[in-house]
Structure 1
Amino acid sequence: MTAAPGGAGRPGRDAMAMGAAYAAFYLAIGIQLPFLPLWLTARGLSPQEIGVVVAAPLVARLFATPLIGFLSDRLGRPKAVLVTLALATCTGMALLALSRDFLVIVLVLGATALFWNPSFALLDSYATRLARAKRADYGRARQWGSASFIVANLAGGVIIGATGQDGIVLMMLAGQLVYLAVSTRLPPLAPAPAPVTDLAGVAGVPWRLVAAIVAVALVQASHSVLYVFGSVHWGAIGIPTTTIGLLWSIGVIAEIFVFRFGTRLMNRFGPHLLIAAGGVAAVARFGALAFAPPEPALFALQLLHGLTFGATYLGMVELIARSVGEHRSGSGQALASWAVSLAMSGASLAAGPLWAAFGTQAFLMSAGLGLLGALVALAARPQPHSSGAGGKASAPS
């Protein structure tokens, strides 16, 4: 892409700004993912209620993400959309910190997710557009989000262990305020070029792209039981909060490694094999967790997060980048995110009853989803003579 005046930027500075945006964005997520269930437990919610609360943002995402992705593309002002979403998210988190009743928590968190969750896809769309213009490397920018997640995990575990669980949502709010400030400094994008191709005009067999997105959704949904009850379970068996934070961090360290070398991995294996590798790793990771392994084994199993999440996520972003033009980049990433949210919301809703009935055996559902995702990804992989899901392959960055 040839950048228009005012959109060319300086690659080094643009890459730093994009990395800073990811780092700031994932601060709140580094608190929310491992520790929000602890806050919900402290509020007196049951396992079934926690499952509903965790699923609420995913359900909200089903409606908001495609709509806001389309709106962003239509307006042609992705930076303004991201800043507005960040401001609205801060407001929602402030209200969540004041919430105590189950129904109020569900409604407030669901409403907040209408603004927070679409930012995942739109930030990825922003980064891939910079990558196409050779102004940033997607994987290397995204790795700073993972690094920030680790910092939030570790610092959050220490702070929560010392001060208690009541401040968890306030810590999420603080992280989101940092992101709001950083998002205003995102580098400008050149106007998207005239449409050349999109999801409806991709060469080859369209079902392969759809099937690959379904595979991603299945593998990502395999994390649901861990996301909802991992920290609660580890705390219940006596693992300290600081160690819980470290367990999450170990997984993200592996994720950073995958993102760091994402371009090489993509060029060597392609998106379908990366997605399939994530599914196979999910079978091993969650199949083992179903049988309550000892604490040292948990650290080894958490390393598989680099594949179950990192490789699968890279595969998804690259598939969409190959398959849609820049004029629909936000919509494409948003629709893929929608499919993942649909699968994860269903799995999260199922996690509560399954955990209440079977305990750690609920992880067998996760292993099954990973296996199914791997099989679908392999089935969707283009044959050597096929043009595949999106024509000529390209590096993710």
Structure 2
Amino acid sequence: MIVRTGAKAWASVLTSSFPAFVLLQGSLYAAYGTESPFLPSFLGERGLIPGEIGAVLAAGTLMRLAAAPVAGHLADRYDATRAVLGVAAAAAGLISFVYLTGYGFWPLLAVSVLHASAIAALAPLADALALTAAEREGTFSYGWVRGAGSAAFVLGTLVSGLLVAKAGLTSIIVSSGILFLAMAVATSRVPAAHPQEERPSLGLGGIRELLASASFRRMLLVAALVIGSHALNDSFAVIRWREAGIGPGTISLLWSEAVASEVLVFVFAGPWLLARLGVARATLMAAGLGVLRWSAMATTAAIPVLAFVQPLHGLTFALLHLANMRLIASVVPERLAATAQTLYGTLGLGVASAVLTATAGFLYGAFGAGAFWAMAALCALALPLASGLTPKAMVQNSR
């Protein structure tokens, strides 16, 4: 009986929109994983010096931060999230191939800015559609979809290394372009959001409405503090480990632990924890474990300790992201879903990560591993804010 019930449940998942969303998120994050590790090297091969590479990448980051809220607002304003996502994915794929024609600073800067404008809202809009479908159909969890994306990112990164070894750096541009185009095709297979009974007003009314909510602002701040605190780890953890004499093979295993834990939390542990803890306590757990994780990183580079704290990544990042998605799905009106997702991606994640990544170099240069104490402090600051992150409080404050 249990097997039959499980089989029926699995059959309902396979006949739902879940496979289409796996293809959508998988192609998106595989494209990211294929392109991002080797793009700086590709730019260098096309004649850019290190300072110019940094300028091109920074310009792309600034464009993404500016373009994402605009795309989200347009998607909500015209009730066209799926259409905007499909057009943006197709544009991202086509513009990728333009990289192959560029040499020198100004042409590559122009391509980078155009490409960034196209990819800016891909992840937030894909999340908005997946959240809506998961809530509406009730046969799968958003975390399953996002976990598939994380796994695809890892696979894309591994494959890109093989491609570069065999076919050179241009292969990452070709493969990522194909994957973005595959995402555009996959977009047509996922269900659109329900037609909205009430649309946002013209202008920036929807953005103002969201930012007027004290609880929505609190969620953005907690995300900025806790998820933003990962910037130092992403930039300097490997440098710290190498300085401590840890070999490349062990570093790869440590990094793989973090990635594997992210996938496991997205797919299995995260939905289970959210169901039992609720949003506020899950957020408290993420922030508290962030304090523990960065304190350990500041104190020691002993391999047993690192092997213990690396899997905490699934809870300090993935669990918090799932909690924020739960809040958005529960309390943000569907007419503002795309706008909320792009604001979360821009203000809660993008700006904080950009600022803290820039700050990380100065902190690590001045304090070495002690810079991780600053990241622990950011997570500690988030603890008193996390207790107020409940759907009830957010609904009340958004009235």
TM tier, shorter chain? 0.7 to 0.9
Determine helix, strand or coil for the equivalent of 2:301. coil
**Quick one: which of 271, 287, 292 aligns to 1:263?**
271
Q: Is the 2:241–2:301 contact (alpha carbons within 8 Å) kept by the matching residues of 1?
A: no
Counterpart in the other structure of 2:137: 134
Which string of whole-angstrom CA distances, capped at 9 and with x for unpartnered residues, describes residues 295-318 of structure 1?
A: 665554331220121011111111
Q: Which moved more, 1:334-343 or 1:243-252?
A: 243-252
For the structure 1 residues 245 and 99, does the alpha-carbon distance in structure 2 shift closer, same or farther, using more than 3 Å as the test? farther
In 1, the alpha carbon distance for the partners of 2:208 and 2:314 equals: 32
Between 151-160 and 290-299, report the one with greater CA deviation: 290-299
Matched AA of 1:187: P
Tell me the CA shift for residue 44 of structure 1: 7.0
TM-score (norm 1): 0.78
TM-score with structure 2 setting the length = 0.78
Give 1:73 deviation, angstroms.
Answer: 1.1
Is the aligned partner of 1:327 residue 2:335? yes
2:116 corresponds to which residue? Answer: 113
Q: Is the 8 A contact 1:57 1:117 kept in 2?
A: no
Tell me the distance in 1 between the aligned counterparts of 2:167 and 2:367: 32
Q: Which residue of 2 aligns with 1:387?
A: 392
Deviations 1:265-291 (A, max 9, x none): 222112222223222333333344446
Return the letter of the residue paired with 1:371.
A
Q: Which amino acid aligns with 1:210?
A: R
Match of 1:374 in 2: 383
Whether 2:85 is the aligned partner of 1:82: answer yes
Cα shift at 1:32: 4.5
Q: Tell whether 2:126 aligns with 1:123.
A: yes
1:21 deviates by: 1.0
C-alpha contact (below 8 Å) 1:154/1:249 kept by paired residues: no
Contact 2:35 2:160 in 1 (8 A): no
Give the distance between the partners of 1:299 and 1:267, measured in 2 at CA: 28
In structure 2, relative to structure 1, the CA distance for the partners of 1:339 and 1:201 (3 Å cut) is closer
- Kept in 1, the 8 Å contact 2:218–2:389? The answer is no
**CA RMSD for the aligned pairs?**
3.8
CA–CA separation in structure 1 for the residues paired with 2:247 and 2:186: 35
Query: SS state of the match for residue 185, structure 1?
Result: coil
Q: 1:26 is matched with which residue: 15, 25, 29?
A: 29
Give the 3 Å change call, closer, same or farther, for CA 20–363 of structure 1 in structure 2: same
CA–CA distance in structure 2, aligned partners of residues 178 and 24 of structure 1: 6
Deviation at 1:139, TM superposition (A): 1.6
CA distance in 1, matches of 2:52, 2:232: 14
In structure 2, the CA distance between the partners of 1:96 and 1:351, relative to structure 1 (3 Å rule), is farther
Query: Are residues 361 and 369 of structure 1, via their aligned partners in 2, closer, same or farther at CA, if it must alter by over 3 Å?
Result: same
Post-superposition shift, 1:127?
0.8
Is structure 2 residue 358 aligned with structure 1 residue 349?
Answer: yes
Task: State the distance in 1 between where 2:169 and 2:300 align.
Answer: 25
Residue 307 of structure 1 corresponds to 315
Matched-pair identity in %:
29
Q: How many residues align?
A: 374
Segment drifting more, 207-216 vs 368-377: 368-377
1:1-397 equivalent positions in 2, closer than 5 A: 12-32=15-35, 34=37, 36=39, 46=50, 55-96=58-99, 101=104, 107-134=110-137, 136-160=140-164, 167-194=171-198, 206-229=213-236, 239-240=247-248, 247-261=254-268, 262-290=270-298, 293=301, 298-340=306-348, 341-355=350-364, 360-378=369-387, 380-381=388-389, 387-390=392-395
CA shift, 1:82, in A, is 0.9
CA distance change for structure 1 residues 349 and 171 in 2, over 3 Å: closer, same or farther?
farther
Residues 110-132 of structure 1, C-alpha deviations (whole Å, 9 max, x = no match): 43222212111111110111122
User: Is the partner of 1:389 in helix, strand or coil?
Assistant: helix
Tell me the CA shift for residue 106 of structure 1: 5.2
1:190, distance to aligned residue in structure 2 (A): 3.1
1:254 is displaced (CA, Å) by: 1.1
For 1:358 and 1:53, the matched residues in 2 are separated by 29
- 2-side partners of 1:232 and 1:37: how far apart? 18
Shift of 1:149: 1.9
In structure 1, how many angstroms separate the alpha carbons of the residues matched to 2:313 and 2:134?
25
User: Greater relative contact order (Cα 8 A, min sep 6): structure 1 or 2?
Assistant: 1
C-alpha distance in structure 1 between counterparts of 2:363 and 2:52, whole Å? 13
The offset of 1:27, in angstroms, is: 0.3
Which residue identity lines up with residue 126 of structure 1 in the other structure? L
- Distance (Å, rounded) in 2 between the aligned partners of 1:40 and 1:234: 28
Q: Distance in 2 between matches of 1:298 and 1:66?
A: 37
Partners of 1:245 and 1:174 in 2: CA distance: 28
Letter aligned with residue 345 of structure 1: A
- Contact residue 31 and residue 152 of structure 1 kept, 8 A: yes
C-alpha change, 1:58 and 1:329, in structure 2 (3 Å) is: same
**Distance in 1 between the 2:221 and 2:23 partners?**
31
**Conservation of the 8 A alpha-carbon contact between 2:79 and 2:199:** no
What do the CA deviations read for 1:182-230 (whole angstroms, capped 9, x no partner)?
Answer: 223223443234479x89889xx94233212210122121122333455
